Structure 1
Amino acid sequence: MRSRPEHLLAQQAALARFGEYALMSEDLDRILHEACRLVAEALGTDLAKVVALEPDGQTLRVRAGIGWSPGVVGTLTTHIGTGPEGLALRSKEAVVSPDLAEERRFDVPDFVKAQGVRASACVVIMGLDGKPPYGVLQVDSRRPQAFGEQDLAFLRTYANLLASAVGRLRANARLRRKADDNERLLRELQHRVKNNLQVMVAILDLQARQLRAPESRAALRSVARRVEALRLLHDKLHLSGEVDQLDLGEYLAQLSASLLSFHEGSTARVQLALEVERGLVVSPDQAAPLGLAVNEFITNSLKHAFGEGSGRIGLTLSAAPAQRARLRLWDDGQGLPVPPPKTGTGMRMIESFGRQLGSAVHWTSDSSGTRLEMTIRLRGA
């Protein structure tokens, strides 16, 4: 038999251990089981349990426990109108019964009698933020046992810790569900946008084929190429399973290769030289203007750099210091006129995309070709 100081010390130690455990664990069943084990140990009872109130508000389920026969914990249910647990929930007060043989306030459940329980004490595990109570925390003893005010204060403190743990885990679960729902909706939206962009590309290409005027046909296909760059971006996001980042190297390599197919006859006479570093991650907000800039450069090179001859267009993407990436675009064509035009739509758009990304656009050009360089900040930098 413990002395009173030893008894109080055991209770304080149990609370300290449980408080640490309840803050770290994400498993409610284990938290409830550990609470039962520690209170039974600290109060010197043979049994303890947590009885949870089901959503119907009338059924109680033994959610966790220590010392009970198989088939009780997790399975057994009772009605709220019977037993000390129901009385505690209805009154919102602790219910103490030092000798169940003398009890007249409630009927003792059969499974409790079968376990040889003679005394019990239970306190309510309150709900947070106006929610209904979670249930009760109860200790049961196989011998008559008096539970003093200190014992009840100990149980209430445990019940409050349990209420906080239940509230925290429920809030976390709600946030996870909300995040999952938002991600699912975002993926669905992303998928629909990708499909809609694909339809737009097909319509623009069909309309371009039906036009007789070369200028009008070229204008529509120019728009189609820009839409295709955005469609490919959404396609990469959808396939990667990410909604807020993608591998820039993979995206630009695939985009560059696809651009040649928009220009009839270009694939045979113009080669594409790609040298991209994988693992350089950017956000969609960064990838979109970069993709459009690549589209404009390659399109301008195909239209103006080689005439009717052959040549090469290159794209190099590499890591740069300070969490940045360096993008180089080049061709080995005839170079820009001297002085280089600053009024062309493609060049103006590339300059605009550079400003959007916070990057200067550096052009060089001579008889050996045209080169462009940009440095961008990577995601998270």
Structure 2
Amino acid sequence: MSGTTSTDPKDWVAQQAALARFGEYALRSEDLDRILHEACRLTAAALGTELARVVTPAAEGGQLMVRAGIGWQPDVVGVITTDAASGLEGLALGNGTAAVSPDLEQETRFAVPDFVRDHGCRSSACAVILGVDGAAPFGVLQADSRQPRSFGEQDLACLRSYANLLASAVGRLRANALLRRKADDNERLLRELQHRVKNNLQVIVAILDLQSRQLRMPESRAAMRGVARRIEALRLLHDKLHLSGKVDELDLGEYLAQLSAGLLSFHEGGTTRVQLALEVERGLLVSPDQAAPLGLAVNEFITNSLKHAFGDGIGRIGLALAAHPTQRALLRLWDDGHGLPVPRPKHGTGMRMIENFGRQLGSAVHWSSDETGTRLEMTIRLRGA
């Protein structure tokens, strides 16, 4: 028997270059079966064997399956299973180390599987693909030759290198899969929580509305309904998040448009005394932490305009939202009412709340008011900015 290990330095350099490329591929790819197939192909090329395979424990206890391979008939890879005590691969897994059989026909340590004999294999070498972080071995990487040969130290070093890279790839993909499952579970739980919060807020709004009807003082009723409107703005936020199936972002334009339309409908009771003018760009995404104060700010502006801007007359309230440079959006609110009184109520509750919301968002609030109406502008940082 003779080995086929080359001592030409050029061959060694080429082998190391192939190993390095495979390492990069194994770190980049998310397809384990392709990684295993590529390892078999490169192992067979590096060791000069006609065949190579990855054998892993099968679902049935005590069985091994050919998970990937090169050079085998189509009815082998993904189909053939053998007893775990059979073959060189069973010996390697049992000992937890690399194993070599220079002549399978003379082998007495194990039974050679039928499919190996059917393919004319005479020699084999394999290295264990270790488990990561104390896990059981993933399987073995095995090279099979149709010619009797001795696998030298360089061959085994090459085989171990590919097996170790496979172990790292398997560990990485398993860890990624576990993280994805945990992320999916957390997202599902958060969606359920949003749904419960939305329902609880809806109950609170209904209770406040019922309580306000029982109050005799108009000021008390107005204050109670004001609280209810603010809670409704938050309920609508959770409703939009739940319906979108997302937990960390929502379309700001859709949310503010629905919120402002609901506020006018609530105040006007189906009349058309005050009309809503919307110019809203869709697809501008913000986090729930941004949407909540923005919704409350819109609630305060529209509520104040409906109360104070028009008296008993008609008018319009506008809301415009558009993309702005550097991953931002410009929110404009306006009415064509009588304007703020002079001197302006700098410390009015609504204005103070809006300015507080602006500070919470890191956005300056710009007011202007005259006899043609009141205007407000805020620049909002979009998600990802």
TM-score, with normalisation over the residues of structure 1? 0.92
- Deviation, structure 1 residue 54: 4.2
Shift in CA distance, 16/334, structure 1 to aligned 2, threshold 3 Å: closer
Q: Does 1:314 align with 2:314?
A: no
Give 1:213's aligned amino acid. Answer: M
The equivalent of 1:41 in structure 2 is 45
Aligned to 1:303: 307
Q: 5 Å matches for 1:81-230?
A: 81-230=85-234
User: Tell me, what secondary structure is at the counterpart of 1:12?
Assistant: helix
CA distance in 2, matches of 1:208, 1:368: 34
1: distance between equivalents of 2:25 and 2:347?
68
Match of 2:367 in 1: 363
Q: CA deviation at 1:276?
A: 2.3
Contact 1:124 1:135 in 2 (8 A): yes
**CA pair 72-214 structure 1, distance change in 2 beyond 3 A:** same
CA distance in structure 2 between the partners assigned to 1:361 and 1:185 by the alignment: 36
Alignment correspondent of 1:235: 239
Alpha-carbon distance, 1:192 to partner: 2.2
Identify if the C-alpha distance between structure 1 residues 209 and 131 changes in structure 2 by more than 3 Å, giving closer, same or farther.
same
Aligned length: 381
Contact 2:194 2:238 in 1 (8 A): yes
| Offset of residue 135 of structure 1 | 0.7
The equivalent of 1:251 in structure 2 is 255
Alpha carbons 1:225, 1:262 under 8 Å: kept? no
CA RMSD in angstroms comes to 2.2
**2:5–2:151 contact (8 Å) kept in structure 1:** no
Is the Cα–Cα contact under 8 Å of residues 53 and 67 in structure 2 kept in the other structure? yes
- Report the CA distance between 1:98 and its aligned residue: 0.9
Say if 1:19 and 1:374 are closer, same or farther in 2 by CA, change over 3 A: closer
In the alignment, the residues of structure 1 paired with residue 159 and residue 5 of structure 2 have an alpha-carbon distance, to the nearest angstrom, of: 18
Asked if residue 350 in structure 1 is aligned to residue 354 in structure 2, the reply is: yes
Q: How does 1:44-59 map to 2 (within 5 A)?
A: 44-54=48-58, 58-59=62-63
Measured against aligned partners, the alpha-carbon deviations of 1:312-345 in whole angstroms (never above 9, x if no partner) come to 1112223334433222222222222221223432
Tell me if the contact between 2:5 and 2:47 (Cα under 8 Å) persists in the aligned partners.
no
Q: Distance in 2 between matches of 1:159 and 1:257?
A: 63
Give the Cα–Cα distance (whole angstroms) in 2 for the partners of residues 205 and 364 of structure 1: 33
| CA distance in structure 2 between the partners assigned to 1:28 and 1:368 by the alignment | 67
Give the CA deviation at 1:295: 0.4
Identical aligned residues as a percent = 78
How far apart, CA to CA, are the structure 2 residues paired with 1:262 and 1:295? 12
Q: Quick check: 1:11–1:43 contact (8 Å CA) kept in 2?
A: no
Q: Which residue number in structure 2 is paired with residue 373 of structure 1?
A: 377
Normalization by structure 2: what TM-score? 0.91
Deviates most, 51-60 or 242-251 = 51-60
Q: Answer whether contact 1:233 1:284 (CA < 8 A) is retained.
A: yes
- Using the TM superposition, give the Cα deviation of residue 298 of structure 1 relative to its aligned residue in structure 2, in angstroms: 0.8
The correspondence of residues 327-338 of structure 1 with structure 2, limited to 5 A, is 327-338=331-342
Q: 1:65 aligns with which of 56, 60, 69?
A: 69
**Is the 1:53–1:133 Cα contact (8 Å) retained in structure 2?**
no
d(CA) in 2 for partners of 1:15 and 1:376?
Answer: 50
Residues 355/125 of structure 1: CA separation in 2 closer, same or farther (3 Å cut): same
Cα distance change on mapping 1:7 and 1:309 into 2, 3 Å: closer
3-state DSSP class of the match of 2:266?
Answer: coil
Q: What are structure 1's unaligned runs of at least 5 residues?
A: none
Q: CA contact under 8 A between 1:40 and 1:139: conserved in structure 2?
A: yes
- Write out per-residue CA displacement over residues 73-98 of structure 1, whole angstroms, 9 at most, x where no aligned residue: 11222232222111111112221111
Distance between the aligned counterparts of 2:253 and 2:6, measured in 1? 72
Q: What secondary structure does 1:262 align onto?
A: helix
Q: Any conservation in 1 of the 2:320–2:331 contact (CA below 8 Å)?
A: yes
Q: Letter of the 1:81 partner, please give it.
A: A
List per-residue Cα deviations over 1:104-148 (Å, max 9, x = no partner).
Answer: 111112222222222111111111222111111111122322111
Unaligned runs of 5+ in 2: none
Distance 1:131-1:57 versus aligned 2 partners, 3 A rule: farther
1:371–1:93 distance in 2 versus 1, CA, 3 Å = closer
Question: C-alpha deviations, 1:250-278, integer Å up to 9, x for none?
Answer: 22111111101222547421111122233
Moved more, 157-166 or 64-73: 64-73
Tell me the alpha carbon deviations over residues 259-304 of structure 1, each in whole angstroms, 9 at most, x when there is no partner: 0122254742111112223333222211111110110111111112
- Aligned residue for 1:340, secondary structure, equals coil
Contact 1:62 1:72 in 2 (8 A): yes
Q: Tell me the residue number matched to 2:287.
A: 283
